[in-house]
């Protein structure tokens, strides 16, 4: 471990939302923290606010009163940059502007010792570019915290082309000692989180654009089936559409208009209208006095069907198979006393039907499959079985309160309703989505995993780093690559392949690393 010693001085430049959070965390870890801001009142406010937080923590007995006083006393206001000359680490959290950041670091180089580490909290500017004009560019590194800093564990430690690996490691180890979860990343557009998270917003916006359901319903599916803390629309409303749209645009531009990152005209219109989300009182939802939360589309109660049974799937060699996800769903049915008889073999061709070799539940004539990225309508046609229903991915079929279904355009309403009744009998609230390819959770998770796999493939981060980043930086319930492991890499590749076929867009191209893992029969995590 090459961490900064606890007694060493950390300087924080910029005392806004991020700078004051960083100062709080560093002072808690025992450092003398010098805060500087071009607005001295921002420094005074930050020190007062942090002191108040420490006192509150002491009141709640999360730290002793003596520790709270000592940590407060370690916060010092710097009157000018010369006051930070003794810093071992300087973390910059000023405006997001390349020229201003470059000029600050150039000034700092004239003040601090040669072995002082310079760190930038930029969320979107190339760390390589910020370092480019320095006398010693090897000592500049990205130290990207997440808002609110004291609560969010992730720190992306970003190496630019010139960054010395020992400097990155010291910052990594120091962040770990501060109680954070650091991950190494290469300076590339969006780093890890702001890149890998793009599909969370983008697929939500596309689902809305294709009228899969309204925002409140899609949000509920992502939360209650997907296990995400917030659905994409409420999250974009919280972030602010101006901010979210501009991050999407900047990643899109930086990757030379890769269709994976194409911004949404729906979001552009919100920005055009000034409907920026919570902060402006209106985004996808209305806020403020008298605002009512829109209803989530949920199917009316249907009777539990007389019988249902399960047929296992078939692998390429014709052997009978099941999948962990289907098994988990059947377990849920059993736990709720819902009869699902086992038919070891596939539904035959008794009615001249072609076979679909995936595991299926059969219920009053309907064949029910886990979505594989095809629409139910396409699948009905492929298998010559009109009454086809597909269900969405859930984080945990044993516990999910909601499930999303879609049925083929050819499906008889009575057949669909009996499938609804079956899922309701197992305790699910059922949401019917329009028949979009890949439904909501499956499509989103497949695209998150695809993006994470590409980031790993391109050396931006490790598989562990990608998963840690998404769990600790944006609270995902599972790392996307660990999630792909549990769905089965083969199924994720099939979903993406079918999405690509459905849309004919390069956006859904499969990451070479996913293909390679599949070919090797491997997983991302042992
Ligand atoms: P903020 O606007 O709350 O605070 C910035 C502070 O920097 C202000 O107090 C301002 O007076 C001061 N400042 C501006 N130019 C300065 C200079 N040349 N020298 C000294 N002080 C200067 O901004 P916030 O949200 O704290 O963001 C700061 C940085 O952190 C930006 O680079 C941003 O991209 C990055 N960041 C922001 C996140 C967020 O969620 N707000 C998340 C991660 C990174």
Q: Which of 15, 43, 95 to mutate to test the pocket of ligand 1 (most atoms within 8 A of CB)?
A: 95
CB neighbour class for 406 (10 Å; exposed up to 12, middle 13-18, buried from 19): buried
Q: What is the dihedral of CA 254, 257, 259, 262, to 10 degrees?
A: 80
* Alpha carbon of 375 to ligand 1 centroid (Å): 45
Q: Measured at the alpha carbon of residue 32, what is the angle toward residues 120 and 109, in degrees to the nearest 5?
A: 40
Topology match between the domains 9-187 and 308-432 = no
CA atoms within 13 A on the CB side of 122: 30
Which amino acids are annotated catalytic? 123, 144, 156, 194
Residue nearest to atom 9 of ligand 1 (CA): 16
Residue nearest to atom 23 of ligand 1 (CA): 16
Q: Give residue limits of the domains in the chain.
A: 9-187, 196-280, 308-432
196-280 CATH fold = 1.10.1040
Residue nearest to atom 40 of ligand 1 (CA): 147
Concatenate the DSSP letters of all residues of 418-437 into one string.
HHHHHHHHTT-EEEEPPS-T
pLDDT attached to residue 349: 47
* Alpha carbon of 19 to ligand 1 centroid (Å): 7
Question: Sign (positive/negative) of CA torsion 76, 79, 81, 84?
Answer: negative
* Alpha carbon of 97 to ligand 1 centroid (Å): 10
CA nearest 382: which of 395, 372, 392, 391? 372
pLDDT attached to residue 436: 98
* Alpha carbon of 299 to ligand 1 centroid (Å): 47
* Alpha carbon of 11 to ligand 1 centroid (Å): 14
- The secondary structure of residue 4, as a DSSP letter, is P
* Alpha carbon of 101 to ligand 1 centroid (Å): 10
d(CA 421, CA 427): 10
Q: Which CATH architecture does the domain made up of 9-187 adopt?
A: 3-Layer(aba) Sandwich (3.40)
Residue nearest to atom 8 of ligand 1 (CA): 16
Residue nearest to atom 44 of ligand 1 (CA): 123
d(CA 250, CA 494): 30
- Give the pocket of ligand 1 (CB within 6 Å): 13-19, 37-39, 42, 93-96, 100, 104, 121-123, 145-147
Q: What is the mean pLDDT of each run of 10 residues along the chain (526 residues)?
A: 85 97 98 98 98 97 96 98 98 97 98 97 96 97 97 97 98 98 98 98 98 98 98 97 95 96 98 97 95 96 90 79 88 91 62 73 94 97 96 97 98 97 97 98 98 98 98 97 96 97 97 97 91
pLDDT attached to residue 196: 98
The pTM assigned to this predicted structure is: 0.95
Residue nearest to atom 29 of ligand 1 (CA): 93
CATH number of 308-432: 3.30.750.190
* Alpha carbon of 95 to ligand 1 centroid (Å): 4
Q: Tell me if residue 510 falls in helix, strand or coil.
A: coil
Q: Which of 16, 84, 126, 154 to mutate to test the pocket of ligand 1 (most atoms within 8 A of CB)?
A: 16
pLDDT attached to residue 353: 56
Q: Which of 11, 12, 14, 98 to mutate to test the pocket of ligand 1 (most atoms within 8 A of CB)?
A: 14
Q: Tell me if residue 141 falls in helix, strand or coil.
A: strand
pLDDT attached to residue 448: 98
Specify the ligand 1 atom closest to the Cα of 15.
9
Residue nearest to atom 4 of ligand 1 (CA): 16
State how beta strands 320-321 and 388-391 pair: unpaired
């Amino acid at each position: 471990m090459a961490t900064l010693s606890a007694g060493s001085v950390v300087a924080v430049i910029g005392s806004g939302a991020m700078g004051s959070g960083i100062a709080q965390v560093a002072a808690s870890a025992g450092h003398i923290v010098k805060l500087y801001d071009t607005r001295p009142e921002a420094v005074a406010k930050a020190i007062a606010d942090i002191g108040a937080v420490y006192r509150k923590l002491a009141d709640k007995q999360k730290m002793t009163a003596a520790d709270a006083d000592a940590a407060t006393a370690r916060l010092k206001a710097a009157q000018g940059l010369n006051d930070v000359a003794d810093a071992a680490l300087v973390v910059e959290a000023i405006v997001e502007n390349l020229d201003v950041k470059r000029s600050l670091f150039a000034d700092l180089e004239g003040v601090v010792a040669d072995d002082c580490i310079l760190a930038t909290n930029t969320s979107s500017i190339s760390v390589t570019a910020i370092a480019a004009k320095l006398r010693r560019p090897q000592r500049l590194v990205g130290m990207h915290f997440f808002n609110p800093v004291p609560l969010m564990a992730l720190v992306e430690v970003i190496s630019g082309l010139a960054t010395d690996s020992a400097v990155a490691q010291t910052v990594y180890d120091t962040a770990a000692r501060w109680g954070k979860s650091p991950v190494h990343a290469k300076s590339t557009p969006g780093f890890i989180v702001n890149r890998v998270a793009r599909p969370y917003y983008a697929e939500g916006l596309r689902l809305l654009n294709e009228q899969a359901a309204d925002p409140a319903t899609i949000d509920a599916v992502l939360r209650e089936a997907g296990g995400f803390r917030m659905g994409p629309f409420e999250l974009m409303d919280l972030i602010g559409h101006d901010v979210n749209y501009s991050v999407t645009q900047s990643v899109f531009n930086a990757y030379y208009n890769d269709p994976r990152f194409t911004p949404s005209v729906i979001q552009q219109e919100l920005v055009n209208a000034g409907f920026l989300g919570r902060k402006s009182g209106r985004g996808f939802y209305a806020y403020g006095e008298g605002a009512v939360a829109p209803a989530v589309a949920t199917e009316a109660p249907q009777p539990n069907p007389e019988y249902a049974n399960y047929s296992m799937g078939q692998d390429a060699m014709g052997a009978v198979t099941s999948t962990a996800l289907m098994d988990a769903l059947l377990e849920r049915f059993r736990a709720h006393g819902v009869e699902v008889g086992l038919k070891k073999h596939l539904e035959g061709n008794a009615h001249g039907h072609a076979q679909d070799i995936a595991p299926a539940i059969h219920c009053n004539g309907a064949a029910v499959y886990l979505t594989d990225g095809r629409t139910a309508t396409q699948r009905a046609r492929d298998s010559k079985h009109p009454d086809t229903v597909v269900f969405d991915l859930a984080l945990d079929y044993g516990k999910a309160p909601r499930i999303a279904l879609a049925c083929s355009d050819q499906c008889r309403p009575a057949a669909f309703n009996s499938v609804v009744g079956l899922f309701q009998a197992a305790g699910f609230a059922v949401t019917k989505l329009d028949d979009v390819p890949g439904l909501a959770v499956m499509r989103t998770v497949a695209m998150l995993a695809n993006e994470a796999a590409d980031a790993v493939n391109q050396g931006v981060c490790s598989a562990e780093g990608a998963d840690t980043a998404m769990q600790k930086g944006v609270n995902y319930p599972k790392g996307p690559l660990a999630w792909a492991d549990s769905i089965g890499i083969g199924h994720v590749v099939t979903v993406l392949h079918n999405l690509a076929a459905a849309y004919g867009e390069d956006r859904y191209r499969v990451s070479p690393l996913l293909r390679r893992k599949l070919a090797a029969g491997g997983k991302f995590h042992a």
